[in-house]
Amino acid sequence: MNLADVSMLELFRVEAENQASEIIKGLLELERDARNPKLLQSLMRAAHSIKGAARIVNLPNAVVLAHAMEDCFTAAQKGLNLTRPHFDLLLKGADHLARIASLDESKISGWVADNTKTYNELAESIRNAMVGEQNAPPATDIATATAKAPPEPVLPEAEAVEEKVLRINAELLDHLIGLAAEFLVESRRLNPFVHSLLRSVRRLNELTGRLEGIERRLVGTDAVEHDLDLLRAARQHSADIADVTAEHWRFLESFERRSDQLSRQLYKEATTSRMRPFSEGVANFPRMVRDIACQLGKSVRLTIVGLNTLVDRDILETLQAPLNHMLRNAIDHGIESPDERLAVGKPAEGTIRLEARHQAGMLFVAVEDDGRGIDPEVLRRVVVSRKLVSEEAAGGLSPSELYDFLFLPGFTVKDKVTEISGRGVGLDVVMNSLQQIRGSVRTHSEIGHGTHFQLQLPLTLSVMRGLVTQIAGEAYVFPLARVERVLVLEQHNISSLQGHDFFYLNGKPVGVVAATQVLELPPAAVLTDSYNIVVISDRDGRFGVVVDRFIGESNLVVRPLESGLGKLRDIAAETLLEDGTPALILDVEDLTRSIDRLISKNRLQHSRTGQAAGAKSGKRILVVDDSFVVREVERKLLENRGYRVEVAVDGMDGWNAARAGGFDLVITDVDMPRMNGIELVSRIKQNAAIKSMPVVIMSYKDREEDRLRGLDAGADYYLTKGNFNDDTLLEVVNSLIGDA
């Protein structure tokens, strides 16, 4: 009996999940077409199904609520004019029913019972909203709902197609996909051998033909018959070997072709098993857009294109937070109020378009609105006012370069903080999430016409499209999604200023740096008259990385590094090339940060001669903070006292820099992505090579428990960021490491 009860509750949970989802989806459509008879019939049936199922598993509160919703839909079929208050209440009711589906079976009955008042009040509100338009159906109380009345007639339902489902551990599935991907690569290794065998067949046939020609010339001459017999035997032997080799070649060619087809099919089927339709990741967005628009007094319609586009499940999961932030920003920042839109000749209702599509072996996701757009001049003023760049430098920035500032941590153009936006964390979350899945974003906007964000992502995380290069005699891979341009430039196209090389791309200077210097590898032994350059970029800059040579583009299996190695600076993962050669996949984010560090230390070498520019003397301090403004304030404050300062953008970046050694002091924030300051301090103090290096925590957190937590981790001092306004920080630095 207990097992039966559990089984019925599980069935009800699934029923509530499916039907509540259909009700929410249907209500959002009905709000734009309130007289649609098919939608009303579908909604009435969904509420009726939940009511019947709730009665079977003895959840009377759910029965009352579902019954009130069903009555409202029935009344609408008979002429009730549904308005926004009706939709607000009905959506709230669907939320409460959907909440049941998210509960563990053992908690469903108790949770529904504990919320008796909420369910009854909501049901009563729905009925009250119906009064005035027409006479509402009689109320149904708990006693009526639980009475042993004859069962209601069951509405006919569409015949379901049985689908067999097997649960499998996600880690096991990932391992299977990894093996399929490796098989795909391994199957291609046979191809060169098959072609080599074909060349051998051709050479043997050529040899046989030559021997036959020699034999014809010797016949009728004074040649010894014995020698002719030997020649005939050699020719026949060569022909026999050629026949056997040709037979083997045909077999291997057929085997190679079948192996390649099977490996491709296996990999396709394996990867498809982890692909989910785009619709699964965006199902809640229409409701979210509707609610936020109502909250802001706006009318916004979300159009989703490409619902059936297949997306890697991990990518789909990671995309939900970025898309959530981008849609919220579009509603709050982009879409104008109805009055503003009507005043400029636009429809009162704004439109946001969300699209997913496959193109050129990549996944593209676009978020586009028809709102007010982004004014580059407003951005320019904000960038200058926040001292992110000088006024002179800001004047030379293009709109696309200005848009990049939107993705900086803490950056916002709003003066007031609201529940929706204004804290400057939305687009920063977008950028961080995209970097995790090897994606990028491009922004385009037109004042008065709207803003367009385009996300470019890999189709799957198990295989990537990469640019294979050679650096210091070894193979290194740049993720193709992070490569902006590939160039071969003659030496006369490279300029030099104060020992730093650069070239112009689309009218903008791009710094040139040798990959061997960034990766700390021996420079190329032979210098040529041209540069092989890979242009990469991120929020920190745009650089041309010089490599020895380009090998080509390839689909590569991404293999994570051994966990015991930790995070290797500038390296993201490993892979095997098609010929079986191992190669390292570069981490473009780390690479640009490494270049920034070389620039900040004035140690960037001439990309050709390798001669280092004069390095500054003085004690070295590492500043670790995810806020650009805080990093710059600390850097300038310390450099004005003669200290040499390097910066890191988060805890992981700081750890990579700190363990490389050579610093006299570390100053770190606490709350940072990838690794927080407390963990950074702990790692430094547990590392035998650098544990004696002093560490100062600078944080906005000024509670006593926060201070004790930092000191317990091993920090030598715990200061608050209010100390920027006096000499406390400088005094602490001086007391720990002395003058610069």
Examine the pLDDT at 563 and tell me if it is beyond 50. yes
**Global confidence as pTM:** 0.56
Confidence (pLDDT) at 477: 94
Share of the chain above pLDDT 90, in %: 16
Taking alpha carbons only, the member of 542, 547, 545, 594 closest to residue 568 is 594
pLDDT of residue 684: 92
Mean pLDDT of 181-194: 65
| DSSP symbol at 493 | G
Distance CA 329, CA 421 (A): 7
Query: What is the model's pLDDT at position 527?
Result: 56
Are 17 and 101 within 8 A, CB to CB?
yes
| CATH fold group of domain 620-737 | Rossmann fold (3.40.50)
User: What local confidence, expressed as pLDDT, does residue 617 receive?
Assistant: 59
pLDDT (mean) for 316-334 = 89
The helix or strand, by DSSP H or E, that contains position 171, with its residue range, turns out to be helix 170-187
Q: β-strand 474-479 against 582-586: which pairing, if any?
A: parallel
- Assign 368 to helix, strand or coil: strand
Secondary structure E strands in 158-233:
none
SS (H, E, C) 54-65: HHHCCCHHHHHH
> Sign of the C-alpha dihedral, residues 246, 252, 255, 257?
negative
To which residue do tokens 């689908």 refer? 163
* Nearest alpha carbon to residue 287 among 419, 421, 95, 129: 95
pLDDT above 90: residue 468: yes
Q: Provide the greatest CA pair distance for the chain.
A: 125
Q: What's the mean pLDDT in 316-324?
A: 88
Q: Per-residue DSSP letters for 676-733?
A: -HHHHHHHHHH-TTTTTS-EEEEES---HHHHHHHHHHT-SEEEEGGGGGSSHHHHHH
Residues belonging to the chain: 740
Sign of the CA dihedral running 696, 700, 703, 709: negative
Per-residue burial over 51-81, b if 16 or more Cβ lie within 10 Å, else e, is bbbbbebbbbbbbbbbbbbbbbbbbbeeebe
The pLDDT-based confidence of 187 (bands split at 50, 70, 90) is low
Q: Which residue has the higher pLDDT, 195 or 60?
A: 60
Give me the residue label for tokens 């944080």.
Answer: 699
pLDDT, position 349: 93
As a whole number of angstroms, the distance between CA 243 and CA 220 comes to: 29
Separation of CA 8 from chain center: 39
Q: From 399, 433, 200, select the one nearest 318 (Cα to Cα).
A: 433
Across-strand partners of 490? 530
- What's the pLDDT tens digit per position in 278-310? 998 898 899 889 989 988 999 999 999 999 998
Residue scoring higher pLDDT (331 or 167): 331
- Name which of 279, 273, 300, 272 is nearest 288 in CA terms: 300
Mean pLDDT, to the nearest integer, of 671-695? Answer: 89
Q: Is the pLDDT of residue 263 over 80?
A: no
Residue range 2-146 forms a domain whose CATH class is mainly alpha
Q: What's the average model confidence in pLDDT over 221-243?
A: 66
Q: How confident is the model at residue 603 (pLDDT cuts 50, 70, 90)?
A: low
User: Could you tell me which residue, 243 or 295, shows the higher pLDDT?
Assistant: 295
Average pLDDT of the chain to the nearest whole number: 79
What local confidence, expressed as pLDDT, does residue 367 receive?
Answer: 95
Q: Specify the pLDDT at position 1.
A: 34
Tens of pLDDT, residue by residue over 92-144, are 888 888 887 777 767 777 777 788 888 888 888 888 888 755 444 444 444 34
Q: How many CA atoms lie within 13 A of 66 on its CB side?
A: 27
> What is residue 412's predicted lDDT score, i.e. its pLDDT?
75
Q: Distances in Å between the alpha carbon of 264 and those of 187, 342, 402, 457, 458? A: 9, 55, 43, 22, 18
Q: What is the DSSP letter of 424?
A: S
More confident residue, 432 or 39: 39
pLDDT on residue 5? 43
Contact yes or no for 104/10 (Cβ under 8 A) = no
**For residue 536, which amino acid is it?**
I
> Residue 197: is its pLDDT beyond 80?
no
8 Å CB contact between 576 and 457: no
Query: 132-167 pLDDT, tens per residue?
Result: 554 444 444 443 443 333 333 333 334 444 455 556
Domain ranges of the chain: 2-146, 173-272, 297-458, 467-600, 620-737
Q: Does pLDDT of 369 surpass 90?
A: yes
Stronger pLDDT, 277 or 560, i.e. the higher one: 277
Residues paired with residue 364 on neighbouring β-strands, in sequence order: 357, 456
- Residue 379 burial class via C-beta count within 10 angstroms: exposed 0-12, middle 13-18, buried 19 and up: buried
| pLDDT score of 346 more than 90 | yes
Q: What is the mean pLDDT of the segment spanning 435-441?
A: 80
Are the beta carbons of 604 and 703 closer than 8 angstroms? no
Q: Give the pLDDT confidence score for residue 418 in this predicted structure.
A: 55
Is the pLDDT at 343 greater than 90? The verdict is yes
Most confident of 248-252, 258-262, 340-344: 340-344
pLDDT, greater one: 606 or 157 = 606
DSSP assignment of 238-304 equals HHHHHHHHHHHHHHHHHHHHHHHHHHHHHHHHHHHTTEEEHHHHHTTHHHHHHHHHHHTT--EEEEE
pLDDT recorded at residue 622 = 92
Please identify which residue in the block is written with the tokens 């950028």.
431
Look up residue 152 and give its DSSP letter: P
**Cα–Cα distance measured from residue 541 to residue 533, given in angstroms and rounded to the nearest whole number:** 16
Write down the pLDDT at residue 689: 84
Nearby residues of 12 by Cβ (< 8 Å), 6 or more positions away: 53, 54, 56, 57, 59, 100, 108
pLDDT at 305: 94
Identify the residue with better confidence: 27 or 247. Answer: 27
CA distance 336 to 164: 48
Position 336 scores a pLDDT of 94
d(CA 404, CA 413): 13
Average pLDDT on 205-234 reads 67
- Under CATH, domain 297-458 is a member of which superfamily? Histidine kinase-like ATPase, C-terminal domain (3.30.565.10)
Sheet holding 495-497, edge to edge: 483-490, 530-538, 541-547, 508-514, 500-505, 495-497
Amino acid at 435: Q
Those residues whose C-beta lies under 8 Å from the C-beta of residue 139, and which sit 6 or more positions away, are 123, 124, 127
For 104, residues 6+ apart whose C-beta sits below 8 A from its C-beta are none
The pLDDT-based confidence of 266 (bands split at 50, 70, 90) is confident
Backbone angles phi, psi at 581, to 5 degrees: -70, 130
- 438-459: average pLDDT: 89
- Fold for domain 467-600? OB fold (Dihydrolipoamide Acetyltransferase, E2P) (2.40.50)
Specify the pLDDT at position 338: 94
State the average pLDDT over residues 448-467: 86
Which pLDDT score is estimated for 444? 92
Distance CA 254, CA 259 (A): 8
Does residue 513 surpass a pLDDT of 80? Answer: yes
pLDDT value for 153: 32
